[in-house]
Amino acid sequence: MTKITRSDPFYDIVSARDTMDRMLDNYFGRSALSFEGYGVIDLDMYQTDDEIVVEASIPGIKPEDISISVAGEVLTIKGEVQQEQETKDADYHIKERRFGSFSRSITLPTLVIADKAVADFKNGILKLKLPKAEEVKPKTITVKAK
């Protein structure tokens, strides 16, 4: 018995492109979020009633080499990882560590007070606490019974 399947050329094109993207990303060790040779800055962002918290993994960098800025609702983290002295008389079998500059900009879910932000860096994790602007904090309205 012969099975007839209907071809969808659009699906075939999208599928082929996705396959090529994954193959190239795996080959070059990059993802859609890679930056100038450094790699991906992985981060988590969450909010409480009073603040936005961003935790970013940036191993192998000194705190003084990190630059953080807020413009409107956009947070930008920049920096540079310096390459250590490379051994000239050796044949590398694996060389995966990345060096160079990086930059990641994300849109914050609400306005923040950048002047009161606190940034801590410990064990390769940058933790930013950005207080929310007063006008966007939730307000409680008390209902009075008559």
pLDDT, mean of residues 50-64 = 90
55 in any annotated domain: yes
Alpha-carbon distance of 130 to 111, in angstroms, equals 9
Q: 101: Cβ–Cβ under 8 A, 6 or more apart, which residues?
A: 35, 36, 37, 38, 78, 79, 80
Q: Name the domain count of the chain.
A: 1
Domain containing 72 equals: 32-84+98-136
Instruction: Give the domain CATH number at 49.
Output: 2.60.40.790
Does a structural domain hold residue 62? yes
Q: How much is the average pLDDT of 119-135?
A: 92
Asked whether 38 and 59 are in contact (CB, 8 A), the reply is: no
39 or 136, which is more confident: 136
Q: Is residue 27 part of a domain?
A: no
- Mean pLDDT for the stretch of residues 118-141: 87
Torsion angle, alpha carbons of 89, 98, 64, 111, to 10: 180
CB 68 within 8 A of CB 54: no
The answer to whether 72 and 113 have CB atoms below 8 angstroms apart is no
Average pLDDT in the chain? 79
**74 within domain boundaries:** yes
Domain annotation covers residue 90: no
Residue 91 lies in a domain: no
The arithmetic mean of pLDDT across residues 8-22, rounded, is: 68
Residue percentage of the chain with pLDDT more than 70: 74
Query: Is the Cβ–Cβ distance between 69 and 44 less than 8 Å?
Result: no
Q: Is residue 61 part of a domain?
A: yes
pTM: 0.63
- What is the mean pLDDT of the segment spanning 28-56? 72
CA distance linking residue 24 with residue 72, whole number of Å: 35
pLDDT attached to residue 28:
59
* Residue 39 domain flag: yes
For 101, phi then psi, to 5°, come to -85, 155
Q: Is the pLDDT of residue 146 over 70?
A: yes
If we measure between CA atoms, which residue out of 103, 92, 107, 109 comes closest to residue 47? 109
